[in-house]
Amino acid sequence: MITAERKPLSELVECVRPYGRILLLGCNECVTVCAAGGRKEVGLLASSLKMAFSKDGKNLDIKEITLERQCDPEYVEELAPHMGEAEAVLSMACGCGVQEVARRFMDKPVFPAVNTKFMGASERQGIWSERCAGCGDCVLGITGGICPIARCSKQLMNGPCGGSSGGKCEVDAEMDCAWQLIWDRLKALGLEKRYEENMPAKDWRPGRGAGPRKIIREDLAR
Amino acid sequence: MENFEPVVVAFACHYCAYTAADMAGTKRLSYPPNVKIIRVPCTGKVDMLHIMKAFEKGADGVCVAACLDGDCHFRTGNVRAASHVDAVRKLLDEIGVGGERLEMVALSAGMGERFAQIATEITEKIRKLGPSPVRKVSVAAGAA
């Protein structure tokens, strides 16, 4: 999923200060799962903002709407009837959702309420960690299912480096060395020989090397 | 400010604190009427939003009254409640309302005296802190 964290309240207060009526949006997808911008977080932020302004004697009118998905135009269209009365939009979706709302409603100021972080997985409740960097050329099949791009601090294709110690990374003693994990997994699979094969330099063009990316499935796009 | 009577909302667990409050009444112990009790099936059921709404609607203080460690009827509801309370305290600090207005206490069903004592202490603590900064607006809005 795409993970995110709410921005500091002080930053959000400044974003909406010029306005009296705002639309506060949540998204039922990734940001709900990582507890950053789902229906519950929308409720908490609405309550927080109302109180923050109440302290200064200002009554902030907030309408809360959580869409099924904020990165799809079909769902964003549902906002049309509510947009007229809103002076500004504050969105708790990831950057994709914020941009989709901004694209559809050109005349409304749209502010992000979260910082979008990374594509990650849940380690356990309340802990998410980075697992995929979207490099566009997946190597998980040859690295034992552990990504050296997303999980090695140096994105090494032939690790580990000299900073790997006791299975941990020199960048942070709490951080697993991805190449230790890869070795352990290859060993468990009986594929130690694969480790001996040098991987060639990675072609970064399928990643961000050639600008913003687009996928076109002609059979679907027609 | 001299006439300030704080409003304290207490979310009290049915299996301990609520029964303790009941016992305080049965024993004819007096405690400040400022404490408004809301009975909940378990403090683990007290959502962060419930606490926030209490403040938003004009409470000067909120107390979450849970079972003693290890005594939760549902095993870990009081532990979960403690995490929720910590998170809301941080949020209240961020808003500027002040996390110290939110308390979590633990007691058993037999602690009637303790309940009366806690109710008195919290009321006095909130009285010293003064009215919640959001109270004035919310009370005025409610009256309108």
Beta strand extents in A33-100 (DSSP E only): 61-67, 88-91
Cα(A59)–Cα(B106) distance, integer angstroms = 36
- Chain B residues with CB-CB distance to A48 below 8 A: 52, 91, 94-95
* Statement to judge: residues A143 and A45 lie in one domain: no
* Statement to judge: residues A63 and A140 lie in one domain: no
* Statement to judge: residues A7 and A109 lie in one domain: yes
- Chain B residues with CB-CB distance to A44 below 8 A: 48-49, 52, 91
Q: Which pLDDT value is given to residue A208?
A: 85
Q: Do A47 and B137 touch (CB under 8 A)?
A: no
In a domain, A177, yes or no: yes
Of A153, A135, A149, nearest in space to A209 by CA = A135
In a domain, B3, yes or no: no
Query: For the segment B37-49, what is each residue's pLDDT rounded down to a tens digit?
Result: 999 999 999 999 9
Give the count of Cβ contacts less than 8 A between chain A and B.
47
From the candidates B50, B95, B101, which should be mutated to test the interface with A, based on the most A CB atoms within 10 A? Answer: B95
Identity at B92, one-letter amino acid code: L
Closest residue in A to B56 (Cα–Cα)? A51
Cα(B38)–Cα(B21) distance, integer angstroms = 11
Cα(A165)–Cα(A116) distance, integer angstroms = 31
Alpha-carbon B43 to chain mean position: 11
Crossing angle of helices A39-54 and B48-56, rounded to 10°: 20
CATH number at residue A10: 3.40.50.2300
* Statement to judge: residues A142 and A69 lie in one domain: no
Q: Which of B53, B91, B134 sits opposite A54 (nearest CB)?
A: B134
In a domain, B130, yes or no: yes
In a domain, B142, yes or no: no
* Statement to judge: residues A16 and A104 lie in one domain: yes
* Domain encompassing residue B60: 8-136
Distance from CA of A38 to the nearest CA of B (A): 13
In a domain, B20, yes or no: yes
Query: What is the number of other CB atoms lying within 10 angstroms of the CB of residue A207?
Result: 15
Of A66, A71, A99, A65, nearest in space to A85 by CA = A65
Cα(A182)–Cα(A169) distance, integer angstroms = 13
Could you tell me which residues are beta bridge partners of residue A116? A4
* Domain encompassing residue A144: 133-209
Backbone angles phi, psi at B10, to 5 degrees: -115, 120
Q: Which pLDDT value is given to residue B139?
A: 53
Distance from CA of A13 to the nearest CA of B (A): 9
Q: Which of B49, B91, B96 sits opposite A55 (nearest CB)?
A: B96
- Chain A residues with CB-CB distance to B96 below 8 A: 52, 55
Q: Which of B95, B136, B141 sits opposite A48 (nearest CB)?
A: B95
Closest residue in A to B139 (Cα–Cα)? A54
Domain boundary among A87, A118, A149: A118
In a domain, B127, yes or no: yes
* Statement to judge: residues A24 and A106 lie in one domain: yes
Cα(B11)–Cα(B102) distance, integer angstroms = 11
- Chain B residues with CB-CB distance to A10 below 8 A: 94
Distance between first and last Cα of chain B:
22
CA-based angle B29:B31:B33, to the nearest 5?
A: 130
Q: Which pLDDT value is given to residue B138?
A: 52
- Omega of the bond leading into B41 within 30 degrees of 0 (cis): no
Q: Based on the structure, what is the number of domains in chain A?
A: 2
3-state secondary structure of B49: helix
* Statement to judge: residues A69 and A139 lie in one domain: no
Closest residue in A to B89 (Cα–Cα)? A48
Residues 6+ apart with CB under 8 A from A24: A42, A45, A46, A49, A62, A63, A64, A65, A89, A90, A91, A92, A113
Mean pLDDT of B24-53: 97
Q: Which pLDDT value is given to residue B144?
A: 42
Check whether B141 has a pLDDT greater than 70: no
CATH number at residue B57: 3.40.50
In a domain, A218, yes or no: no
Q: How far is CA A108 from CA A23, A49, A70, A101, B4, in A?
A: 10, 20, 16, 9, 43
* Statement to judge: residues A42 and A148 lie in one domain: no
* Statement to judge: residues A92 and A141 lie in one domain: no
* Statement to judge: residues A90 and A56 lie in one domain: yes
Q: Do A55 and B97 touch (CB under 8 A)?
A: yes
Query: For the segment B86-130, what is each residue's pLDDT rounded down to a tens digit?
Result: 999 999 999 999 999 999 999 999 999 999 999 999 999 999 999
Distance from CA of A14 to the nearest CA of B (A): 13
In a domain, A214, yes or no: no
Alpha-carbon torsion, ordered A51, A56, A57, A62, to 10 deg: -40
In a domain, B2, yes or no: no
Q: Do A9 and B134 touch (CB under 8 A)?
A: no
B141 against B69, higher pLDDT: B69
| Length in residues, chain A | 222
In a domain, B80, yes or no: yes
* Statement to judge: residues A96 and A155 lie in one domain: no
Of B106, B120, B117, nearest in space to B16 by CA = B106
* Statement to judge: residues A91 and A163 lie in one domain: no
Q: Which pLDDT value is given to residue B142?
A: 52
Q: Do B94 and A43 touch (CB under 8 A)?
A: no
In a domain, A127, yes or no: no
Q: Based on the structure, what is the number of domains in chain B?
A: 1
CA-based angle A89:A94:A98, to the nearest 5?
A: 30
Closest residue in A to B49 (Cα–Cα)? A44
Check whether B1 has a pLDDT greater than 90: no
| Eight-class DSSP state of A198 | P
Could you tell me which residues are beta bridge partners of residue A169? A172
Which tokens go with B121? 């202490």
Mean pLDDT of B58-72: 97
In a domain, A217, yes or no: no
In a domain, B51, yes or no: yes
Closest residue in A to B50 (Cα–Cα)? A44
Q: What is the pLDDT along chain A (222 residues), one digit of tens a residue?
A: 999 999 999 999 999 999 999 999 999 999 999 999 999 999 999 999 999 999 999 999 999 999 999 999 999 999 999 999 999 999 999 999 999 999 999 999 999 999 999 999 999 999 999 999 999 999 999 999 999 999 999 999 999 999 999 999 999 999 999 999 999 999 999 999 999 999 999 999 999 888 999 999 999 998
Residues 6+ apart with CB under 8 A from A122: A33, A34, A128
| Eight-class DSSP state of A205 | T
